[in-house]
Chains A and B, each alone.
Chain A
Amino acid sequence: MATLLEVRSLTTEFVTRGGVVRAVDGVSWDVAEGETVALVGESGCGKSVSALSVMRLVAAPAGRIVSGQVFFKGRDLLALSEEEMRRVRGREIAMVFQEPMTSLNPVLTIGRQLTEGLEIHLGMTRGGARQRAVEVLATVGIPDAARRLSQYPHQFSGGMRQRIMIAAALACNPALILADEPTTALDVTIQAQILELMRDLSRRFGVAMLIITHNLGVVARYADRVNVMYAGRIVERGSARDLYRRPRHPYTLGLLRSVPRLDEPRRARLQPIEGQPPDLTRLGPGCAFAPRCTFRVERCRVERPVLAPADGEGHVTACWEAARVAGAPALA
């Protein structure tokens, strides 16, 4: 598959009271046409800021894309004018957020929110846009779509609102959808519905998908490839299968060990990653994960590891001790 989106050495910083935070630190990743890629990591690791940077929606003046390129269909989005970028957003790349209630306008009907983009981006007439809106609402499983166009967001449940967000994202037939924790606010049975829906739609319409999540189960079920982020950097990347079966970074291994699994016998004790996530204003020269790492050696404190090939096609890890990680059992 051809590369659709390629992020190269992207760095995004925020000015905070504690100092400058490099939320995304020289990160490179890509998404092929029709592919589902996951960005996984814990709060503050830079996964959401990565997506916002692609959309050029990082809030100025505190936040700023410092360097890097974002090639989408061969064009560098970071070099576009604001006017040109507006034509990309929603039209070619759409975004779905965690909390639909905060991304839907509470005083506009669902119909208006769906047709607005169609009229602006595709130059559709009111009637045409309305018809398309009914069509996409039906596609995402909202019954009685024509009548519901005149309703407001608060008249829908959380799951239904997320369906509406997905309908809005799909409306202009984008090539890529960035979904930032799309099911985190939803109940587990509704989460299953929404994820099945997204997978089905991505297959049916060939939309590529970037799923941002902290849920390792969601990643395992839906992603083709996975990027694991920690403290603003990608620490491991590979096919979902390689990454889960042969984790080569101590952080990935630690995450997999720390979650209880329903398909395995109950363990006597969970195995957390000890310590706390680092303060991004005070990162040292070495590996950001070193203070919490059980594989740590002296070199980790002074020299930052770079991504290097591990076993498996396209499998890379940023760890000096990757060979030892490879020999570690799935559970200690």
Chain B
Amino acid sequence: MTDNGALLEVRNLVKHFHVGGGLFGGAPGVVRAVDGVSFAIRRGETLGLVGESGCGKTTTGRCILQLERPTSGEIVFDGQNLTKLDDAGLRRVRRRMQVIFQDPYSSLNPRMTIGQILAEPLVVHGLVPDRAAREARVGELLRHVGLLPQHAHRYPHELSGGQRQRVGIARALAMEPALIVCDEPVSALDVSIQAQIVNLLEDLQRQFGLTYLFVAHDLSVVRHISDRVAVMYLGKIVEIAGRQALYEDPLHPYTRALLSAVPIPDPDVEARRVHVVLGGEVPSPLNPPAGCVFHPRCPIAVDRCRSEVPVLREVKPGHWAACLLA
């Protein structure tokens, strides 16, 4: 899946965590949080990364940001292989990759005003050394995210959840990034506010030519914002395709089950729908099943799914799925 227009390329990313065997015992083991993931994101594109808790989507994002050191694999950002950079080189690149977290409240220092929160990275990175210019820049950032200049004097607790998420976005923008990893950026917000933030993210993307990795579990929001979507299950990508192909013609049985599980806000539609309710739960990544990791829950699994590991292959142009039966 090499793409020359790619801003970010993830190749065979693996992240294992070692658990147990310590003071409090427990059998030592390896959690295969991310187990051989590859994808690329083009400049200006939004790639949605969906899956249930523990599927490795957040760890993938953290590896890209180099907040976790990958066990193996490569992350190429804007032509530079991050896994081979030294600390100084990494610091320079990191500025151009920012992150927006789910809970803006826990990611904003409660003792700092919004103005201080936004000015700090400008000082640290020496982007705007002049104080007056910095204040002007803070005002400009606030405007970009739909807040007022007077919000600079407020503290995080004085703002609503939606306003705090706007501050989180402004802080990411302050670094003039090329890529923003949005990790569940709207899932903690009220329904009416979610749409405000999604619209804001889309506006900013157009205005500043941003590239997004949009990590989320809400499939409706992901469809709205993404150009392409990757579905993860137990540390692996099981399907990746353009938005329309993935939602209208899902090839992997897990993707189909996920889509079927999303309730539609319309009683008439719901009354007519046939639901595929998946039995069982996601197995432990400490001890993933042999063969296809999805086979114990798969409604269409056959014998060879128990022994044969499906590879992610291009079933239709641009539409990849890891299913022996696709």
Contacts and interface: CB of A to CB of B under 8 A. Distances in A.
Interface string A248-274: 000000111011111100110111111
A210 B302 CA distance: 41
A260 B264 CA distance: 9
B258 A188 contact: yes
Contacts of A188: 52, 217, 219, 258, 261-262
Interface string B225-268: 00000000000000000010001000000000111111111111
A262 B52 contact: no
B221 interface: yes
Nearest to A226: B267
A221 B263 contact: yes
A159 interface: yes
Given A262-B220, A277-B160, A255 B192 contact: yes
Nearest to A219: B265
A255 B219 CA distance: 18
A160 B280 CA distance: 10
Interface of A is mostly: helix
Given A157-B281, A254-B192, A273-B192, A259 B262 contact: no
Contacts of A256: 265
A272 B277 contact: no
A241 interface: yes
B191 to A, nearest CB: 6
Task: Indicate the member of B52, B190, B192 with the most A CB atoms within 10 Å.
Answer: B192
A240 B267 CA distance: 7
Nearest to A40: B191
Interface string B1-22: 0000000000000000000000
Interface stretch (B31-39, B127-135, B137-145, B195-203): B195-203
A262 B243 CA distance: 12
Task: Indicate the member of A192, A267, A273 with the most B CB atoms within 10 Å.
Answer: A192
B95 interface: no
B151 interface: no
Given A157-B281, A269-B202, A42 B264 contact: no
A217 B267 contact: no
B59 interface: no
B224 interface: yes
A258 B220 CA distance: 12
B264 A187 contact: no
Contact of A191 (B191, B195, B261): B261
A193 B278 contact: yes
Interface string A163-191: 00000000000000000000000011111
A102 interface: no
Contact of A189 (B194, B195, B278): B278
B269 interface: yes
Nearest to A271: B195
B266 A244 contact: yes
A42 B281 CA distance: 29
Task: Indicate the member of A241, A254, A276 with the most B CB atoms within 10 Å.
Answer: A276
B125 interface: no
Given A42-B192, A276-B160, A277-B190, A262 B199 contact: no
Interface string B271-287: 00001011101100000
Nearest to A160: B281
Given A214-B191, A258-B191, 17 more contacts: A42-B193, A187-B217, A189-B258, A218-B263, A221-B267, A244-B267, A245-B267, A255-B191, A255-B192, A258-B192, A260-B220, A260-B223, A262-B259, A262-B262, A266-B243, A269-B199, A269-B202
22 contacts: A43-B161, A43-B190, A189-B257, A189-B277, A192-B263, A192-B277, A219-B265, A220-B267, A220-B270, A221-B270, A241-B268, A244-B267, A245-B268, A254-B192, A259-B265, A262-B259, A263-B264, A263-B269, A272-B196, A276-B160, A276-B162, A277-B160
Interface of B: 52-53, 160-163, 190-196, 198-199, 202, 217, 219-221, 223-224, 243, 247, 257-270, 275, 277-279, 281-282
